[in-house]
Amino acid sequence: MRKGRFLDEADLETIAIGAAILGTGGGGNPYIGRLRARELPRQGLKMEVLSFSDLQDDDVVYEVGGIGAPVVGIEKFEHGDECLRALRAVEHQTGRHATALISSEIGGSNALEPLITAAQAGLPVIDGDGMGRAFPEVQMSTFMIYGIPGTPAALADDKGNSVVLASTRDVYWLERLARQATVEMGAAAGMALAPMSGSQVRETAVPGTLTLARQLGEAVLEARAQRRDPVGRVTELLGGVRLFEGKVTDVERRLERGFTRGQVRVSGLGDFQGESVKIDLQNENLVVWKGDEVVASVPDLIILLDLESGEPITTEVLRFGFRVAVLGVPAHPKLKTERALQVVGPAAFGYSHAFVPLPDIGVNRSTTASKEAADVLDSR
Amino acid sequence: MRKGRFLDEADLETIAIGAAILGTGGGGNPYIGRLRARELPRQGLKMEVLSFSDLQDDDVVYEVGGIGAPVVGIEKFEHGDECLRALRAVEHQTGRHATALISSEIGGSNALEPLITAAQAGLPVIDGDGMGRAFPEVQMSTFMIYGIPGTPAALADDKGNSVVLASTRDVYWLERLARQATVEMGAAAGMALAPMSGSQVRETAVPGTLTLARQLGEAVLEARAQRRDPVGRVTELLGGVRLFEGKVTDVERRLERGFTRGQVRVSGLGDFQGESVKIDLQNENLVVWKGDEVVASVPDLIILLDLESGEPITTEVLRFGFRVAVLGVPAHPKLKTERALQVVGPAAFGYSHAFVPLPDIGVNRSTTASKEAADVLDSR
């Protein structure tokens, strides 16, 4: 029998930190998820992680995660079994039992949600996800981008409601109907999507991202303990660029159609004194502007870290006076193909600028996920 | 093998007229349904109606119908298989094949919708429904009132989307989630609800209402042909009261959260010269007011007929200058028990007045559906 790596409480802490970093401001607050997750080993439940090489071609892998607005996630604690009930509803619909779960998005609480659900269901979780970050909408995953059908999918809420999206015209209708049902459910629900085979997961997912999240968390804690620049460690580990440093001078944030939307202004400090940037939000950080110039843009990752502690600053806690570093990190090659840019590029978020990728220096890329592999996917 | 009554094109015409009368202003325009339904015999499809006595205890009867705002129903023609796809989605969820269908509401287009769906599926339709009229919300049926679970239910739209409401906290959440999904689907969808046994149908449904609709239509056509007062014939056949006659002087109508809401003012003519009434709408006619006094109220039926032709006037065609008779018709006893009034009485529509039933002179009540039988149901 295959056996993956079992997570302990320390892993949950580091994954939560790393997931918040990769959440690029969104994906839900992972610390609440961590509080829930750490109860599981105490109840004798195990959290097992499998790498891509452990996957069998005929594995039945369901994508699970929370859906909703991060602002709500803080105030509305989940009942605890929403994703599990959503999973059971899709399994009932397809008649196929899950053999493993995978995260829709590694960024934010959705790094931990599948671990919790998998522990409850006695299943392993795959080391990878569909975004390598967080994105606000369901269709914005490498699974959907590369043709895995999203339906049947299911939603379950804290009130005992569960809804199966049996079939939809396309993934945009899946997003639309799921989002509207989530709003009705109180702006937060557990979601499970149609199953994939092991080989489909290997082909389409962003690999190794649970491990990456853990490494990021470990690096931050280590740098803090040694009083060595945690922001620098994160930048280095992700192969990113420090785009800006400054003080948050204005935050405009509103809940709109189930999303947190808004803008943040940051005034420069240190080397950036006298300059300022504006960051657009839709759950996640979308675009960094310096005046009319785009400094960084989706799908590349825009990450705000506390200048001293390296603590990731998520959309819902962001406020005036925070001193932040703004990092730009190149997105995974699977998010930058022509096909992917139609779904997660600037135009998909209503922008008119072309995507100019941040320089990708190839740090921390899993070997199976090279640009060549992404190009093969893109050309299908 | 049991064999019901097969409907012909003439039946469809009379049922459409009767259903519009019983729709009390709502339930969707049945004439569009009639246009669709009359194509079916031409395609060799049969519409068979079974009476309660033909039902087997172990029949598997699904409730089907359209959901949405009547105003939309006129402009947005259905694709034609919405209810059938909704039925298939619930059958898939329950694993139980339908042996018969029944209408959610006899009033309006939902009298014909199950006939069309049944013909497409090769199934019979039961002579009865869950309202004996039309009501705006899903939980307002005698099925739900007397404890038949509504879930799993399903919705399907003209775009190829189908959504299964797998389980909901209660019937109000079923209504809420179904309504919201319908709004997202363009304010019109086909719906199918959880199956009932034959004995459950006999116990909870309002019996004989397809036959009643046909009789009403026949009476109107006959009275028109003989130039004898059609309004009088309808009033007599339904055991109703002519509450008012007059000219429509004002119509206020808006689409709100998937419902048509508004008010109509009618100024008296003939015996009613000098008086005026106001009628409140939520898809259906809810309450007739004379000043501050309630003249008639839900769940009793408030029916507007053209003064000359006896043509029923539905909410969506109502306009200034129409000369109308306002009829009050006592609701079926199953809608007037204590239990029923909690769901379809004035308070359920936000009113503070107590329900004072119109005098029930016992005309045209099926023998199995006496007040005593309703009281037995109520006391469970």
Q: Is the pLDDT of residue A288 over 90?
A: yes
Name the residue of chain A whose CA is nearest to B163's CA.
A165
Residue range B30-48: mean pLDDT, rounded: 82
Report, as an integer, the average pLDDT of B144-161. 95
Instruction: Check CB contact under 8 Å for B161 and A168.
Output: yes
Q: Is A69:A254 a contact under the CB 8 Å cutoff?
A: no
Among A74-83, A166-175, A301-310, B242-251, the minimum mean pLDDT is found in: A74-83
Q: Nearest-CA residue of chain B relative to A174? A: B161
Tell me what pLDDT residue A77 has: 46
| Sign of the torsion formed by the C-alpha atoms of A200, A204, A205 and A206 | positive
Q: At B76, is the pLDDT very low, low, confident or very high (cuts 50, 70, 90)?
A: very low
Contact call for A160 and B176, based on CB within 8 A: no
Q: Which two tokens stand for residue B248?
A: 């429509």
pLDDT of A181 higher than 50: yes
Confidence check: pLDDT of B375 > 60:
yes
Mean pLDDT value across residues A270-288: 94
User: Quick check: B75 pLDDT over 50?
Assistant: no
* Mutation choice for A interface testing from B81, B88, B164 by most A CBs within 10 A: B164
Residues B13-39 as b or e (16 or more Cβ within 10 Å = b): bbbbbbbbbbbbbbbbbbbbbbebbbe
pLDDT exceeds 60 at position B369:
no
Per-residue DSSP letter, A312:
B
Per residue in B201-213, pLDDT (tens digit) is 999 999 999 999 9
**A275/A266 Cα distance (integer angstroms):** 9
Q: Which residues of B touch A183 (CB under 8 A)?
A: 180
pLDDT value at residue A73: 44
Q: For residue B78, name the pLDDT band (cuts at 50, 70, 90).
A: low
Would you call B165 and A163 a contact, using CB atoms and an 8 Å cutoff?
yes
Nearest to B164 among A166, A169, A183 (CB): A166
Q: Name the band, by pLDDT with cuts 50, 70 and 90, for residue B368.
A: very low
pLDDT of residue A76: 44
Task: Give yes or no for residue B367 having a pLDDT over 60.
Answer: no
pLDDT above 70: percentage of residues in chain B: 93
* pLDDT band (50, 70, 90) for residue B362: low
- Say how many C-beta atoms besides its own lie within 10 A of residue B76's C-beta: 15
The residue length of chain B stands at 380
DSSP for residue A27: S
Q: Report residue B360's pLDDT band, with 50, 70 and 90 as the boundaries.
A: confident
Interchain CB contacts (distance < 8 Å): A and B: 71
CA atoms within 13 A on the CB side of B267: 6
Residue A100's nearest CA partner among A31, A19, A202 is: A202
Interface test with A, best of B94, B162, B171 (most A CBs within 10 A): B162
Look at residue B241 and tell me whether its pLDDT is greater than 60. yes
Count other Cβ atoms within 10 Å, centred on residue A195.
Answer: 25
Q: Which residues pair with B245 in a beta bridge?
A: B325
User: Residue A169: which of B92, B160, B165 has the nearest Cβ?
Assistant: B160
Q: Is the pLDDT of residue B82 over 70?
A: yes
Confidence class for position B314, pLDDT limits 50, 70, 90: confident
Which one of A84, A184, A185, A191 would you mutate to disrupt binding with B, by most B Cβ within 10 Å of its Cβ? Answer: A184
Angle, CA A264 vertex, CA A262 and CA A268 arms, to 5°: 170
Contacts of A184 in chain B (CB under 8 A): 176-177, 180
Q: Which residues contact B259 (CB under 8 A, 6 or more apart)?
A: B69, B136, B282, B283
Q: Report the pLDDT value the prediction gives residue A366, as an integer from 0 to 100.
A: 45
Q: Is B340 within 8 Å of B206 (Cβ atoms)?
A: no
* Chain A contacts to B (CB-CB under 8 A): 89, 92-93, 154, 159-169, 173, 176-177, 180-181, 183-185
What SS3 string covers chain B? CCCCEECCHHHHHHHHHHHHHHCCCCCCCHHHHHHHHCHHHHCCCCCEEECHHHCCCCCEEEEEEEEECHHHHHHCCCCCCHHHHHHHHHHHHHCCCCCEEEECCCCHHHHCHHHHHHHHHCCCEEEEECCCCCCCCCCCCHHHHCCCCCCCEEEECCCCCEEEEEECCCHHHHHHHHHHHHHHCCCEEEEECCCEEHHHHHHHCEECHHHHHHHHHHHHHHHHHCCCCHHHHHHHHHCCEEEEEEEEEEEEEEEECCEEEEEEEEEECHHHCCCEEEEEEECEEEEEEECCEEEEECCCEEEEEECCCCCECCCCCCCCCCEEEEEEECCCHHHCCHHHHHHHCHHHHCCCCCCCCCCCCCCCCCHHHCHHHHHHHHCC
Please give the average per-residue pLDDT across A201-212, as a whole number.
Answer: 97
Name the residue of chain A whose CA is nearest to B160's CA: A169
Residue A258's pLDDT is what?
66
Residue numbers in B near A180 (CB within 8 A): 180-181, 183-184
**pLDDT in the model for residue B364:** 55
Specify the higher pLDDT residue, B122 or A376: B122
The region of weakest confidence among A58-67, A103-112, A331-340, B71-80 is B71-80
User: pLDDT for B346-359, tens place per residue?
Assistant: 999 999 999 999 98
Return the amino acid letter for A236.
E
At A253, the pLDDT band (50, 70, 90 cuts) reads: confident
Burial tier of A304 (Cβ tally within 10 Å: 0-12, 13-18, 19+) = buried
Q: pLDDT tier at A355 (50, 70, 90 boundaries)?
A: very high
- Closest by Cβ to B166, choosing from A159, A163, A177: A163
Q: Find the chain B residues whose C-beta atoms sit closer than 8 A to any C-beta of A.
A: 89, 92-93, 154, 159-169, 173, 176-177, 180-181, 183-185
A95 burial class (0-12, 13-18, 19+ CB within 10 angstroms)? Answer: exposed
pLDDT band at B74, cuts 50/70/90?
Answer: very low
Interface test mutation site (partner B, options A85, A93, A167, max chain B beta carbons within 10 A): A167
Of residues A371 and A346, more confidence is placed in A346
Q: With contacts defined as CB-CB under 8 Å, which chain A residues touch B177? A: 161, 163, 181, 184-185
> Across residues A223-251, what is the average pLDDT?
95
Nearest to A181 among B160, B167, B180 (CB): B180
Nearest to B184 among A93, A161, A177 (CB): A177
Please give the structure tokens belonging to residue A156: 């379950």
At A372 the pLDDT is 66
| Spatial separation of the C-alpha atoms in residues B295 and B236, rounded to whole Å | 19
Range of lowest pLDDT (A245-259, A286-300, B229-243, B273-287) = A245-259
**In the beta sheet, which residues pair with residue A101?**
A62, A125
Look at residue B1 in the predicted model and tell me its pLDDT. 58
List the structure tokens of A380: 């299908």
Neighbouring C-beta atoms of residue A133, cutoff 10 Å: 33
Token digits of residue A349: 């978020």
- Rounded Cα distance between A135 and A25, Å, is 10
Whether B308 and B357 have beta carbons less than 8 Å apart is answered as: no
- Residues in A closer than 8 angstroms to B176, CB to CB, are 184
Residue A184 has its nearest CB partner, among B160, B180, B185, at B180
Taken in order of first residue, the domains within chain B and their CATH numbers are 5-209 (3.40.1610.10), 231-372 (2.40.390.10)
Q: Do the beta carbons of residue A84 and residue A117 sit within 8 Å?
A: yes
Helix then strand count (H, E) for chain A reads: 13, 17
DSSP classification of residue A177 = H
Residue A100 has pLDDT above 80, yes or no: yes
Give me the pLDDT at residue B42, please. 81
Please give the pLDDT value at position A75: 41
Chain A residue nearest residue B86, CA to CA:
A166
What mean pLDDT comes out for the span B73-90? 76
Instruction: For chain A, give the percent of residues with pLDDT over 70.
Output: 93
Residues of A with Cβ-Cβ distance to B159 under 8 angstroms: 169, 173
Q: How far apart are CA A327 and CA A237, in angstroms?
A: 12
Least confident of A28-42, B108-122, B254-268: A28-42
Long-range contacts of A231-236 (CB under 8 A, 24+ apart): A231/A305, A231/A307, A231/A310, A231/A325, A231/A327, A233/A310, A234/A21, A234/A303, A234/A305, A234/A310, A234/A327, A235/A327, A236/A363
Contacts of B169 in chain A (CB under 8 A): 159-161
Q: Calculate mean pLDDT across residues A111-130.
A: 95
Q: State the average pLDDT for chain A.
A: 90
Shortest Cα distance, chain B CAs vs residue A133, angstroms = 29
Q: Is the pLDDT of residue A70 over 60?
A: no
Which amino acid, one-letter code, is at A261?
R
Q: How far, in Å, CA of A150 to CA of A144, rounded? A: 7
Contacts of B92 in chain A (CB under 8 A): 93, 166
Confidence of residue A369 (pLDDT cuts 50, 70, 90): very low
Query: φ and ψ at A7, to 5 degrees?
Result: -90, 145
Please compute the mean of the pLDDT values over residues B248-274 and round it to a whole number.
90
**What is chain B's Cα-based Rg?**
19
Closest partner CB to A164 (pick from B160, B163, B185) = B163
Task: Say whether A184 and B176 touch across the interface (CB within 8 A).
Answer: yes
Task: Note whether A27 and A343 are within 8 A (CB).
Answer: no
